[in-house]
Amino acid sequence: MYERILVTGSTGFLGHHLMPRLKSAFPKAEIIGVGRRDADLLEPGAPARLLRNTQPDCVVHMAAKSGGIITNIKRPAEFFYENVVMNTHMLHDAQQAGVKKFVTFMGGCSYPSDARSPIDESQMWAGYPQIESAGYSVAKKMLLTQSWAYRVQHGFNSIVLIPGNVYGEWDNFNLEEAHVIPALIRKYMEAQERQAPTITAFGTGKPTRDFVYAGDVMATIPWFIQNYNSSEPVNISAGRRISIRELAETVKKVTGFAGEIVWDATKPDGQMDKIFDVTRLHSLGLSCDTSLEDGLRRTTDWFRQARERGEVRL
C-alpha cells in the first residue's frame, strides 16, 4: 500500500517500539526513521526539507517535546512552543508534499481536567485541560483542529490517535522529566542498591490512572495506517483503573525493593481520576491486553540492563 513510510521521533521512547512493528507489517516498504540529530523540526524550513529529501507517501509523526508533571510546571512555554511549531509545520508541509497518509498522536492530558471517567472521545472539547500541563496538552490538542481543517479544505488524510498513560522500555528515567512509572522504577532500584529503608513518592497516592504498555499501543499503528481514515480521534489504552498507591506497591514487588514508601503530599496529584473509554478502539477489533505487572517487569528488566550498558536516559 505504501512504499516509503517516514517516522519522526523514531529514536525516542515510542519510536523504538514502533519501528520493528512497521518493518514487520510493511516488509516491502522503506521505513525511514528520523530523530532529532537527523533533523531539527524546530528549524525554519526543516520539515519541508525533510519531506522533500525523503519523499514519503506516509508519515507517522511522533516527534514531540514531552515530560512529567514537574517539568511541565516549570517549562510550559517550551512545551507549548515546540509542540505547536513541530506539529503545525509537519502536517502542513506533508499535505503540500503530496503525502497520502499522515498519522500523529496527542496525549490523554488534553482532555478537560473535569472530564468524567471513563473518558470517551466526545469529551475532548468539553472543557480546559489541567493547568499543570496545559502548555503541552493544548498544543497537542490543536492537531485535532488542524487534521479536520486540512481534511475539509484539502481532502488530506490525517488521523490523530490518543494513547493513554504509556510506559515501557526506552522511556525517560530522568527524575525531573519522567512520568510516574519510570520515576518509581528508578527510585526503587537505586534505593535497593543503597539499602535505603524508604523511598519518596510524589503526591498522596490517591489518584487513579489507566496505564498502557507501549508495545501494545504501537502494535495497533500498522492497522491504523492501513485501515483508519477519519479525523475523529481514537483512545488507545487498556481501560483498566489502578490507583497510584496500588501502582507503587506493584512496582515495589516487581523491583524487589524491601523498604517502605513515603508519600510527599506537597507535590501535586494532578487529575484525581483519569480512565480512558476504549469502546471505539474495541469496535475496530483492537485492544491493549498486556497486564500491568507483566509490562512493569519487562520495563524493569530493560532498565536494569540498559543502565549497565549506559543506554538509558537518566
141-150: per-residue pLDDT in tens? 999 999 999 9
pLDDT tens track for 152-162: 999 999 999 99
Residue 269: partners with Cβ closer than 8 Å, 6 or more residues away = 203, 204, 206, 207, 244
What pLDDT is stored for residue 171 in this prediction? 94
Tell me how far apart the alpha carbons of residues 245 and 208 are, in angstroms, rounded to a whole number. 9
Q: What is the pLDDT of residue 270?
A: 76
What is the band of 269 on the pLDDT scale with cuts at 50, 70, 90?
A: confident
Residue 21: the pLDDT is 98
Question: Grid coordinates representing 107?
Answer: 496525549
Per CATH, the number for 180-208+240-274+292-309 is 3.90.25.10
Looking at residue 176, its pLDDT comes to: 78
Q: Are 30 and 4 in contact (CB under 8 A)?
A: yes
Distance of CA 143 to the CA centre of its chain: 15
> Which pLDDT belongs to residue 66?
82
Instruction: Read off the pLDDT of residues 100-127 as tens digits, 9 standing for 90 and up.
Output: 999 999 989 999 999 999 999 999 999 9
Catalytic, 228? Answer no
The CATH class given to the 4-167+211-236 domain equals alpha beta
pLDDT in tens, 181-202: 998 999 999 999 999 999 888 8
pLDDT for 223-257, tens place per residue? 999 999 999 999 999 999 999 999 999 999 999 99
| Predicted local confidence at residue 267, as pLDDT | 84
pLDDT over 90 (residue 268): no
Tell me which of 2, 81, 111, 136 is the catalytic residue.
136
Band (313; pLDDT cuts 50, 70, 90) = confident
Residue-wise burial string across 168-180, b where 16 or more C-beta atoms lie within 10 A, e elsewhere: bbbbbbbbebbbb
**Structure confidence at residue 180 (pLDDT):** 87
pLDDT greater than 90 at residue 20: yes
Return the C-alpha cell found at 283: 469496535
* Percent of the chain's residues with pLDDT above 70: 100
pTM attached to this predicted model: 0.93
Q: Can you give the residue ranges of every domain in the chain?
A: 4-167+211-236, 180-208+240-274+292-309
pLDDT score of 179:
84
Q: Does the structure show a pLDDT above 80 at 67?
A: no
